[in-house]
Structure formats: C-alpha cells, structure tokens
Amino acid sequence: MRRVYLDNNATTPLLPEVLEAMRPYFAERFGNASSIHHHGQETRAAVERSRESVAALLGCRASEIVFTSGGTEADNLAVFGVAQAGDHIITSTIEHHAVLNACRHLEEKGFEVTYIPVEKRGVVDPADVRRALRPNTKLICIMFANNETGVVQPVAEIGKIAAEAGVYFHTDAVQAVGKIPVHVEEIGCDLLTVSAHKLHGPQGVGALYVRKGTELEPVQYGGRHERSRRAGTENVPGIVGLGKAAELALAGLERGDDQKMAELRNRLERELLRIEVSGVNGACENPHPTQTARCAGHPRVPNTTNIYFEGIDGEALVIALDLKGLAVSTGAACSSGAIEPSHVLMAMGLPLERARGSIRFSLGKQNTVEDVEFALAVVPETVARLRELSPVWNELRALSRELRATKNAAGDNGLLEARGSKLGNNSS
Ligand code: PLP
C-alpha cells in the first residue's frame, strides 16, 4: 500500500545524510565527550562541530548553544532557568504545551503569568505584549511559528519591545528553524528553542540558544557539561545528527527550498479549498502589518496548512485517511479519555465544531508533487463520504440551501453562525 506522510510538524523523517553522519557515533566512535583520551577527544570534536553548525544556522556564537534532550527541555530550561520568585512572565495562549504547562506550573508556585490572546488570524499583537509589561516582568515567551497553523509571529517587533523594557525574550522556534531563515540578531531574542526532529534530524535532541550574558539557572544538576548550563553526558549521535540537519537546512534555505515547499503547500491548499464549506485556519495571505520584512514573505511557514471541513469530525477523517495511506493530524489532544479540540484553534476563536473538523497538513523535504497529488486524490472523496454519514453536515446543507433560496446567503463562513442562531444555540 502506498503511504504518504504529511505530518511533518509532528516529526520529520531523518535525511539519509543525517543517518550516515550519526552512524559512527553509535559504533566505533563511542567515547564520552568529557574524557581526555583519544576516544573522548574524537567525540568532543564532533560535538563542537555540531555546535558550530547550529550556531551558523541561527547566526550566533557556538558558545551560545546549549544542547538539550529536545524542544521541550529547551523550552523548560528557558522558562525555569530565567524566572525567579516574584517575577512576572508574559506568554501567549497559542504556545506549545512545553511553554504553556511550564508557565502554568510556575503560576501554581505563585508566579504571575499573563497569557496574551490572539485574534482569529492566530497572530499575537505586539501592542498587547507591550501593554502587559509590569515592573516585575522578567521574561516574554512568544513562539516563532505555531505548530498547528504554521502562522509566523511578529517576533522581531516583540524582541524590540523586550529590549526597550530590559526584559528577557525567549522564542520557541521549533517549527520555524530549517523552514524559514531564523536569525537571533534579527529577532532580538535572548533565548531560542530548536528541536532536531522537526528539521529532519533525530528525535530526543535539541538546543537552546542563550545570548551571552543571560542569567540562566540550570534545571538539572550534575557535572559541568554545556558550561554548567545543562548537566549530563552528551547524546553524541543525536548532537551529530542535529549538526548535520542544521548544515543541510542552511544549504536548503540558500538554495530557496522554502519557496519550492511553499509552492507544493499552496497547490495542496488551493485544491483542497475547492471542497465545499472548507477554509484555512489562521493568517494565510497578506502578512500582519506588524510582521517584519523578513517575516513578510512568510505569514506562515511554507510547509503547513490547517484546513477546516465543515460538518466532519477531524479525528474520523484522520483515521479514514490513514486507512487509505495518508498520514495527517488534528491538533486535538486526549485528556481524561475525552478528545479535546486544539487549544490553538480554540484560542483563535473558532467555533467548537469547526475546530473539531480541522486538519493539519504539514510537508517535509521528502515530499514530492506526487505525494500532493495522492492527497488530492484521497481527501475530497473521504470528506464527501464522511459528510454523507454526518447528521451535522446534512443539517448544514439543508440550511445552506434554505439560505440560498431566500437570497440571504451568509456564505460558507456564515453557515455555522446562521445554524447557531436558527437553532438558538451557539456552537462555540
Ligand atoms: N515547541 C513546538 C512549537 C513544537 O511543535 C514541539 C513539538 O511538537 C515542541 C516545542 C517540543 O519539542 P520536542 O518534541 O523536541 O520535545
């Protein structure tokens, strides 16, 4: 059976070159990078080469890179490493749980946290960040690109606000690094998170950029690894894989791979939007006025589109598509046995049913035009079949016909709202 993987925001397959670079470090190059003998020196050199490669991708010094066990650890290190008792933190409602739950944990411990809401395009307004500043604000944590919508945030603008206020700025760039240019000086951030497995590197390894001079308390104690910022014997094969993935990502961006990726994503999106009563969640055309020149061409990262198909259950669609060989996802999470719709889509104000009927398609370097054609062959028919079985869809359809007949068409966008008012219940 043919299988096409369009869930690259969850994880990306290792590039063959990355696997080749890692291979010796699982076998003959096994030394502990802290050992002073030949074996240790060999792996130490490999770790330091990778540090250079990651630094080159982000435009920083190698000494500012701290290797971690992934994006989650890097996010946690940024939040817990900077915040001190009595501090106030500003973050947003659309962050990844690695930031949100770290902030919630601090709140339980008595810290003050402001969660900036977003409008329906899924963009944080820098003016809201400025307004949220307090005398005790220590840290602003706003992600670079959202993992569910791909929407790029006005991070350079927020970086300026943070610098003017003398507040640390951390950005979770896990979904941006390798897909679009990410340069710490242009962002003006003090801390930035990277995860290897989102850029065709291995799972379980990441990095935190820590601007020189940033006061960062470690969250784990042990040896003096990573300049005492992160104790623990280095994951050498993983770090080598991250370094190679960073090198390949930089070369790809220089070649304009991001443009090619956007063309592929745009074809997929354009064709899927022919499906009746569907639409893109989040910013997708004109960039937000506050986005900088660098971000302006990228209101979203080029690999992601999040689309709602009115009247279907997203989980059912994911399962039905998987049976046909197509891997995609919803941003839904399972909590206490119930499927919770994506907190990101809910934060953007989507009605519950629309959030439940939304699917994320995310491409990777391995995807081809044929993969997109495969998706375009299976998604429309699967949506149609599920809709036939859906009482919600049949009701929406009848309402749509009624609205058209009375020339009072609210348009596809108004359908849910019209249904809500007709039934006397608000579907959100
Ligand atoms: N931040 C974002 C935006 C992510 O998308 C993810 C992973 O999905 C993470 C952090 C966590 O990274 P990791 O899986 O390396 O822990």
User: What pLDDT digit, counting tens, does each position of 352-409 carry?
Assistant: 999 999 999 999 999 999 999 999 999 999 999 999 998 888 888 888 778 777 755 4
Atom of ligand 1 nearest to the CA of 146: 3
Per-residue pLDDT for 426 more than 60?
no
Distance, CA of 171 to CA of 174 (rounded, Å): 9
- Catalytic, 60? Answer no
Six-digit token pair at 166? 């003398």
Q: How far is the CA of 72 from the centre of ligand 1 (A)?
A: 6
| Mean of all residue pLDDT scores within the chain | 91
* Ligand 1: residue whose CA is nearest its atom 12: 71
* Ligand 1: residue whose CA is nearest its atom 10: 71
Atom of ligand 1 nearest to the CA of 73: 16
139 forms beta bridges with 89, 168
Query: 175 CB less than 6 Å from ligand 1?
Result: yes
Catalytic choice (60, 141, 295, 334): 334
Select the more confidently predicted residue: 367 or 331.
367
Phi, psi at 398, each rounded to 5°: -60, -40
Per-residue confidence (pLDDT) for residue 407, from 0 to 100: 59
Query: 360 CB less than 6 Å from ligand 1?
Result: no
Provide the phi-psi class of 407: left if phi over 0, else alpha when psi is between -120 and 50, else beta: left
Q: How far is the CA of 71 from the centre of ligand 1 (A)?
A: 5
H helix and E strand count, the chain: 17, 14
Across residues 219-231, what is the average pLDDT? 95
Q: How far is the CA of 32 from the centre of ligand 1 (A)?
A: 27
- What is the per-residue pLDDT across 96-152, written as a single tens digit (0 to 9) for each? 999 999 999 999 999 999 999 999 899 999 999 999 999 999 999 999 999 999 999
Atom of ligand 1 nearest to the CA of 10: 8
Q: How far is the CA of 423 from the centre of ligand 1 (A)?
A: 40
Helices within 166-256 (DSSP H only): 184-187, 225-228, 236-255
Angle between helices 314-323 and 369-388 (to 10 degrees): 120
- The model's pTM: 0.93
| Cβ atoms 5, 327 nearer than 8 A | yes
